Amino acid sequence: MLKKGRELNKVFESRLKYRQPVRKPLLLISQIQRSGGTLMSQLFDGHSQLHVHPGELNIGRPKKWHYPQVDLSMKPGKIYDLYNEERQTKEYIDDGYQKPGKSHEKPDTNSVLKSLPFLFSLELQKKLFQQFMEDFKVTDNRGMMDAYVSSYFNAWLDYQDLYKEDASVKYWCTFSARLAVVDTNVDKILHDFPQGKILTMFRNPASWYASAKKHADRYGDLEKSMNLWVKTYKTSLDYVKKYPDNVYLINFDQLLQDVPSTMKKLSEMLGIQYEEILSMPTFNRMKIASDSSFTAKIGIDKSAADRKKFLEPEQVEQVEKISKETYDRMLEESWN
């Protein structure tokens, strides 16, 4: 094990000296788990006009799906310690990037590494956060978010896009399950980021339930799970109506059928240029396997749109009975 020495200290000093602020509107991807949010985030990765968080954002309290409201009377170091619980980031630091999820099946090709490099320093991030809080003269919650996001991308030492031209960057982008489908969160998010965009992913409810049930035991109770699904998307529909220029329902099944076409239209809506990288899921510009509860695949896994075949016919019938009214409304309000 190498000890941190003079050379590494110089790396940290250089990153602190040449720190790059990231003060952009938020492009948030959020919905109930197992609905395609991870894929959408990975499609945005590497775009020249975006800074894309590499995993799931986790800074809410008391749970990750609560948007942080910070007491700015606290010292910056204390704020950082309280809100930084980036579980995936810590896992990536220890093991490199690996396909998340419950399934341990290997990808159906050997053309991608089992794990990918991720060089990040939590110690450096804390120092950067404190520095950015001072740089930005933070007096509100948005300023704190800007300081946190800036500290994150600067502490990610092998992030390939840190030094892109700032004027060309339109958004910083992240995925966070359920963050935008909990009451009052969207109001708080759009208060801080009035030019922000929220993409709420949804999929066929029977396919969703098949994937969710395999992913985590907590979804084993069909009726309870589908009632949560209905409640979640009724909230989403309310927000689409309240914020028609900021909140969009994205049909995951439609996305899978023609990724380039959907991403071209989405680019136009977001005001960013279409680039080929938008059609290939990547991590820091490197190709990755899909985040599937079933067998992982390289690139786009169109079979994810047909998971209901893993349910019994009576389960499909029960799912459709509970979800039909809400699902029909979502199809009508879907952006794509």
- Half-sphere exposure (CA, 13 Å, Cβ side) for 314? 0
What pLDDT score does 291 carry? 57
Q: Please, is 72 exposed, middle or buried when counting C-beta atoms within 10 Å of its C-beta (0-12, 13-18, 19+)?
A: middle
Nearest to 255 by CA among 105, 38, 27, 103: 38
Nearest to 281 by CA among 265, 295, 302, 308: 302
What pLDDT score does 63 carry? 86
Residues 290, 297 contacting (CB under 8 angstroms): yes
The percent of residues above 90 in pLDDT, for the chain, comes to: 80
Per-residue pLDDT band for 110 (boundaries 50, 70, 90) equals very low
Mean pLDDT of 317-334: 98
pLDDT tens digit sequence for 128-176: 999 999 999 999 999 999 999 999 999 999 999 999 999 999 999 999 9
Per-residue pLDDT band for 298 (boundaries 50, 70, 90) equals low
Instruction: With a cut of 50, say whether residue 103 has pLDDT above it.
Output: no
Residues 175, 56 contacting (CB under 8 angstroms): yes
β-bridge partners, 26: 172
Q: Where are the domains of the chain?
A: 24-333
SS3 content of the chain, % helix, strand, coil (to 5): 50, 10, 40
What pLDDT score does 99 carry? 65
Mean pLDDT of 242-271: 97
What pLDDT score does 55 carry? 93
What pLDDT score does 3 carry? 58
Compute the distance between CA of residue 197 and CA of residue 199 in angstroms, rounded to an integer.
7
Instruction: With a cut of 80, say whether residue 294 has pLDDT above it.
Output: no
pLDDT tens digit sequence for 35-65: 999 999 999 999 999 999 999 999 988 888 8
Per-residue pLDDT band for 300 (boundaries 50, 70, 90) equals low
Structure tokens at 105: 């099946």
What pLDDT score does 333 carry? 97
Strand order in the sheet with 197-202: 50-56, 171-175, 26-29, 197-202, 247-251
Instruction: With a cut of 80, say whether residue 285 has pLDDT above it.
Output: yes
What pLDDT score does 8 carry? 87
pLDDT tens digit sequence for 200-234: 999 999 999 999 999 889 999 999 999 999 999 99
Please give the residue that has the higher pLDDT: either 303 or 80: 80
Instruction: With a cut of 90, say whether residue 326 has pLDDT above it.
Output: yes
Compute the distance between CA of residue 172 and CA of residue 50 in angstroms, rounded to an integer.
6
Question: Phi/psi of residue 248, each to 5°?
Answer: -135, 135
Instruction: With a cut of 70, say whether residue 316 has pLDDT above it.
Output: yes
DSSP class per residue in 71-98: -TTS-HHHHHHHH---HHHHHHHHH-B-
Task: Specify the CATH number for 24-333; select among 3.40.1800, 3.30.70, 2.20.100, 3.40.50.
Answer: 3.40.50
Instruction: With a cut of 50, say whether residue 101 has pLDDT above it.
Output: no
Compute the distance between CA of residue 299 and CA of residue 290 in angstroms, rounded to an integer.
7
